Chains A and B, each alone.
Chain A
Amino acid sequence: MNKTVLDLWVGLFVVAGIAALLFLALKVGSMNTVNAADSYDVVARFENIGGLKARAPVKSAGVVVGRVDSIQFDTELYEAKVTIRVDKRYPFPRDTSAAILTSGLLGEQYIGLAAGGDSVMLKSGDTLKITQDAVVLENLIGQFLYGKAQEGSPQ
């Protein structure tokens, strides 16, 4: 076979392969790993994180603004210490609150941020003061049953 034809085919093959990779990268996946350079880390402490996992999304008003970077257990306070990596494009006030929420009834858990009214913005290394734990279904059912039992008991 002619050498230039062969080169052309191989060139087309390589271009098609790279195009497929680009398609996978841009259309199928998303480069949603937040870069350390364009983000800031804040810490939130929870008594119970439920089923929250590292790399879970952090949303505010339903929009993904960051990711959970790491989850550690603090042996001084016996609480979970969750480090959140938030995109630099989204500055939040210092009195922002964090809650662990569930998308849908059985969906994955994520952190919801609700902005406060402070004029000072959060900076890297800050701790969120107001947090709301994950809802544990067993506790909820337990409370419900307890309440029902009390209702039924003779006064």
Chain B
Amino acid sequence: MLKRALENLGNRTIQGVWRMGFATRFFFAVLMHSGTAFRRFGLTIREMYFTGVLSLIIILVSGLFVGMVLGLQGYETLQTYGSEEALGVLVALSLVRELGPVVAALLFASRAGSAITAEIGLMKATEQLSAMEMMAVDPIARVVAPRFWAGVISMPLLAALFSAMGVLGGYLVGVQLIGVDEGSFWAQMQSAVDFEQDILNGVLKSAVFGVAITAIALFEGYDAPPTAEGVSGATTRTVVTSSLAVLALDFVLTAFMFRGLN
């Protein structure tokens, strides 16, 4: 009984370490074979269409609604302290620092990450990747690396669009609907939001999230068992793992970026 439990634990540990090592080697292999992704940039642009452009609708609409809700809730809270004018600061800082990068990354993980895993997993299951290798085409350089760079480039742009839409949503609700003074809404926002400390850090965060999400999605797809069940399991794992990775990385990055600020 005890022996069985120990064996089980040992087996799981070895499997875990092996997978981690494989994932790291896979990640470096993608980086090493990235030359094609830039030399034949058309490949990357094609993938940017599927990961970036097709995610636009969900990102823009969610950004708008998140900003509008922030405007409503922020107004309710700030009103009790008689400082409705700070609504702009509240909306902009929470979007640019946290909600923009994080919520956009979570949406990106479920919209684009799952699609990447399913696609690569199915390519592997139908032996398209092996066929490429047979024809002396490196599947990592031809299939994986362009998707990786497309995700890394798309993510910061999507997060910036999310934040911008959110600020517009907050403006629509706060100024147009509720009637907060327009001048102080923008002026207080501008004096509180710093380009380097807030906006650039937000962009940096989303770039890191982009690397994490696409790397996890590609690895899960590449590592998926070549069955229908395996691909579906890998797709689920992509969404769960990359969402958790985004939230954990967000904590670490925030601790580094904003701790020593004041």
Contacts and interface: CB of A to CB of B under 8 A. Distances in A.
Interface of A: 1, 3, 6-7, 9-10, 12-14, 16-18, 20-21, 23-25, 27-33, 53-55, 57, 64
Given A10-B45, A28-B199, A53-B262, A20 B194 contact: no
Given A18-B157, A28-B92, A33-B194, 20 more contacts: A7-B45, A10-B52, A13-B154, A17-B160, A20-B163, A21-B160, A23-B167, A24-B167, A28-B96, A28-B164, A28-B190, A29-B92, A29-B190, A29-B193, A30-B193, A32-B194, A32-B195, A53-B262, A54-B262, A55-B194
A13 B48 CA distance: 9
Contacts of B53: 9-10, 12-13
Contacts of B186: 27
Nearest to B83: A104
Contacts of A55: 194, 261
B203 interface: yes
Given A6-B45, A33-B195, A20 B96 contact: no
B190 A14 contact: no
- Pick the 6 closest A-B CB pairs, nearest first: A17-B157, A20-B164, A29-B193, A20-B160, A30-B190, A20-B161
Where chain A touches its partner, the secondary structure class is helix
A25 B190 CA distance: 9
Contacts of A21: 157, 160, 199, 203
Interface size of B as a range: 20 to 34
A53 B163 CA distance: 28
A24 B53 CA distance: 20
Contacts of B189: 28
Contacts of A25: 195, 199
Contacts of B195: 25, 29-33
A24 B49 contact: no
Where chain B touches its partner, the secondary structure class is helix
Contacts, number: 90
A13 B157 contact: yes
A34 to B, nearest CB: 11
A9 B157 CA distance: 14
Contact of B167 (A1, A6, A28): A28
Contacts of A10: 45, 48-49, 52-53
Given A6-B46, A17-B158, A29-B194, A24 B199 contact: yes
Nearest to B47: A10
Nearest to A21: B160
B165 to A, nearest CB: 8
Contacts of A31: 195
Given A28-B199, A29-B199, A20 B48 contact: no
B101 to A, nearest CB: 12
A8 to B, nearest CB: 10
Interface in B50-82: 52-53, 56
B191 interface: yes
